């Protein structure tokens, strides 16, 4: 297995507050890698550093074979991102959103056309292509946002709490999309605070107060902490 | 009751902890009272004037001194020729000129006449200045009569008033350029800052920043449509001024367009600058409205003459783009002046555009 993301002592401080404290980890190609932690534990900050949205205070990170801060252009072409807030334009139609992001990532018009029809077909949204995104139900929006983030065939997709506020059924459907992408060799890095979702990840990292306190497969973590499920693991870790 | 007081306490905490609201709550009235108090006076002090006095008789010198020592006027220039007078008016250096006849005396045998010439591209100021001058001249005659023991009606100085550029003293000559500075600022700066702040608020800005788009491309992409819209807006205002209010367009259309684009660049870069500071649309709107619209209206000389403002407000006023853009439009449209005179204002605007654009670009990424 080849390493596609590696960080070395990655640190971010805001004044006296250390949001992310010297994180070192490696993620393999095609892996679904989960970032777990309570709100404010530093998951989002870590993710923002890996996508180049934040500059680290110290340490380094390689993503898709390139240094995130020395070769940001190379990295940006190869990653997709779905932010905590909704990532599409609500006042544009589905088709317009797809065209916009296809264009931003430099796809040709014929590519965009082809991908649009494929995507609409897959999400069963053909009839809604001309509707404004704001009139879609939240679950559809999230699935659409994920598909749009995958539009340029990125090697890695970063998902920052993609399923927050979504009902369990849609959450399940959303994870089917994630699995499908992983199956095609895409690496996915997901932050979440739903412990049931943690079980779906290949490997998990737990963050407490900016530090990485555990990193293993869900099964290994459960054995190590003698817990029935991830929720219990998390509570044991958080208690210290 | 305790429940109620606890609630009120909480509300006070909200307010006291939200510095921005607090600033608006207390800062706004104070600033408005100060601004209106100082600015809302049409009394003009130390207006620059020029004197064309070929004879330099004892009396003409005494009258000039009296005018200057009144505090209303400040002698900018002693002119030697009519041509020089024209040049001074065109460059906007002087607001009024006094022309003495070559044989000026104050004598009962021969009534003298003086020409008072005002720059009516700013009709309010011109009218006030001429009134002041007339009053001072009347006073001068009165004193002279008393000194020589004559009845005051035996001595006369006739004054003849001329209004340059806008003989009918149409206020529209003042407000069309003023409205233009305001609208271009409103559309360019406010809209830009709001539209960028909106992307930040909704979270789409992050998605854009993660994409291969460069920050410069994002900024240009967001501002280009507004640049086009604003140019259209400017055109409409100019056309309305010309065809509905009968404003002249004496200078070059090309220069006017170029200057408008320059001013819009300043406004756009200000808008971007604001959006790097503001987290959401409301904040962006407040900062634009208070920080740009109010000063543009009150301090740029559009409504109130800058000459009558206290020095600190004049200094603040000179940091406002409209203060420099206003004389440019007036110069080009009403006086037909070109870059030979307007280079200074143009250079200041250019400097402002470069400065704000550079600062915003630097801030753009860090501030998200």
Q: Report pTM.
A: 0.71
Give chain A positions within 8 Å (CB) of B204.
Answer: 85, 87-89
Q: Does the CB of A146 have a partner CB in chain B at under 8 Å?
A: no
Instruction: Give dist(CA B106, CA B57) in Å, integer.
Output: 10
Residue pLDDT, tens place only, A178-189: 999 999 999 999
**10 Å Cβ neighbour count for B107?**
14
Quote ipTM for the complex. 0.86
Lowest-pLDDT range of A71-85, A97-111, B260-274, B299-313:
B299-313
**CB proximity B216 to A under 8 Å:** no
pLDDT digits (tens, 9 = 90+) for A141-161: 888 999 999 999 999 999 988
Average of per-residue pLDDT across B95-105: 84
Q: How far apart are CA A72 and CA A70, in angstroms?
A: 6
Indicate the residue of A51, A85, A106 with minimum beta-carbon distance to B203. A85
The DSSP annotation for B285-305 comes to HHHHIIIIIHHHHHTSSSSS-
Taking the domains of chain A in order of start, what are their residue ranges? 3-239
CA quadruple A204, B208, A79, A181: dihedral sign: positive
- Give the 3-state DSSP-derived string for B326-350, with helices as H, strands as E and coil as C: HHHHHHHHHHCCCHHHHHHHHHHHH
In whole angstroms, what is the distance from residue A16 CA to residue A13 CA?
7
Distance from CA of B204 to the nearest CA of A (A): 5
A184 to A108, B104, B263: CA distances (angstroms) = 22, 100, 53
CATH number of the domain at B47-164, out of 3.40.1350.10, 3.60.21.10, 3.40.50.300, 3.40.1710.10?
Answer: 3.40.1710.10
Which residues of chain B does CATH 3.40.1710.10 include? 47-164
pLDDT-based confidence at residue A8 (cuts at 50, 70, 90): very high
**Whole-number Å distance between alpha carbons of B107 and B87:** 33
Chain B residues in contact with A89 by the CB 8 A cut-off are 204
Percent of chain B with pLDDT over 90: 6
User: Residues B138-158: pLDDT tens digits?
Assistant: 888 888 888 777 776 777 777
pLDDT of residue B368: 45
Window B:154-213, CB contacts with A under 8 Å: 202-204, 206-213
Q: Strand order of the sheet with strand A203-208?
A: A79-82, A156-160, A187-192, A32-37, A203-208, A211-216
**CA-closest candidate to residue A157, choices A23, A73, A33:** A33
Question: Where is A239: in which H helix or E strand?
Answer: helix A230-239
Residue B105 or residue B21, greater confidence: B105
What is the structure's pLDDT at B43? 66
pLDDT greater than 70 at residue B30: no
The mean pLDDT value for B182-204 works out to 82
Q: Please determine, for residue B26, whether its predicted confidence score (pLDDT) is greater than 70.
A: no
- End-to-end distance of chain A based on CA atoms, in angstroms? 33
* The CATH fold of domain A3-239: Rossmann fold (3.40.50)
């Amino acid at each position: 297995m080849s390493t596609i993301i590696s960080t070395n002592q990655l640190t971010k401080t805001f004044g006296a507050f250390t949001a992310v404290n010297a994180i070192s980890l490696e993620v393999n190609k095609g892996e679904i890698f989960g970032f777990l932690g309570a709100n404010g534990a530093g998951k989002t900050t870590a993710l923002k550093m890996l996508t180049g949205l934040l500059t680290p205070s110290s340490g380094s990170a390689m993503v898709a074979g390139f240094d995130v801060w020395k070769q940001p252009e190379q990295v940006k072409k190869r990653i997709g991102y779905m932010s905590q807030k909704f990532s599409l334009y609500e006042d544009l139609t589905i088709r317009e959103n797809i065209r916009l992001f296809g264009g931003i990532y430099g796809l040709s018009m014929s590519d965009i056309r082809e991908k649009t029809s494929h995507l609409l077909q897959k999400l069963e949204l053909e009839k809604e292509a001309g509707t404004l995104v704001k009139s879609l139900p939240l679950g559809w929006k999230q699935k659409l946002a994920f598909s749009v983030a995958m539009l340029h065939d990125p090697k890695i997709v970063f998902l920052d709490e993609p399923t927050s506020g979504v009902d369990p059924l849609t959450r399940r459907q959303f994870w089917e999309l994630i699995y499908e992408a992983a199956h095609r060799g895409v690496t996915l890095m997901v932050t979440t605070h739903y412990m049931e979702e943690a079980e779906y990840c290949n490997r998990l990292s737990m963050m407490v107060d900016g530090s990485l306190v555990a990193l293993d497969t869900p099964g290994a973590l459960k054995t190590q902490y003698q817990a029935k499920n991830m929720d219990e693991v998390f509570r044991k870790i958080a208690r210290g | 009751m305790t429940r109620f007081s606890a609630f009120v306490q909480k509300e006070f905490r909200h307010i006291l902890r939200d510095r921005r609201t607090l600033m608006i709550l207390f800062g706004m009235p104070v600033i408005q009272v100060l601004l209106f108090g100082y600015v809302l006076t049409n009394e003009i002090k130390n207006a620059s004037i020029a004197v064309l006095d070929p004879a330099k008789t004892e009396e003409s010198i005494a009258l000039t001194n009296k005018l200057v020592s009144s505090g209303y006027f400040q002698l900018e220039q002693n002119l030697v020729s009519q041509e020089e007078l024209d040049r001074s008016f065109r460059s906007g250096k002087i607001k009024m000129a006094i022309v003495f006849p070559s044989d000026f005396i104050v004598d009962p045998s021969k009534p003298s006449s003086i020409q008072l010439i005002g720059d009516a591209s700013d009709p309010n100021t011109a009218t006030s200045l001429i009134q002041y001058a007339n009053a001072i001249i009347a006073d001068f005659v009165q004193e002279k009569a008393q000194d020589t023991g004559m009845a005051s009606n035996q001595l006369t100085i006739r004054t003849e008033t001329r209004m340059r550029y806008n003989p009918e003293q149409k206020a529209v000559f003042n407000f069309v350029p003023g409205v233009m500075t305001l609208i271009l600022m409103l559309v360019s700066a406010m809209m830009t800052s709001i539209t960028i702040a909106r992307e930040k608020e909704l979270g789409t800005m992050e998605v854009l920043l993660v994409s291969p788009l460069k920050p410069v491309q994002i900024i240009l992409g967001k501002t280009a449509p507004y640049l086009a819209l604003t140019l259209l807006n400017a055109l409409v205002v100019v056309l309305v001024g010309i065809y509905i209010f009968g404003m002249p367009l004496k200078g070059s259309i090309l220069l006017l367009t170029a200057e408008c684009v320059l001013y819009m660049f300043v406004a756009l870069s200000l808008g971007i600058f604001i959006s790097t500071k503001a987290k959401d649309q409301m904040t962006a709107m407040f900062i634009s409205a208070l920080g740009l619209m109010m000063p543009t209206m009150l301090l740029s000389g559009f409504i109130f003459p800058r000459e009558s403002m206290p020095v600190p407000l004049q200094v603040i006023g000179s940091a406002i783009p409209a203060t420099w853009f206003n004389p440019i439009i007036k110069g080009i449209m009403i006086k037909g002046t070109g870059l030979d005179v307007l280079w200074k204002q143009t250079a200041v605007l250019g400097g402002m555009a470069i400065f704000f654009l550079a600062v915003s670009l630097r801030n753009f990424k860090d501030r998200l």
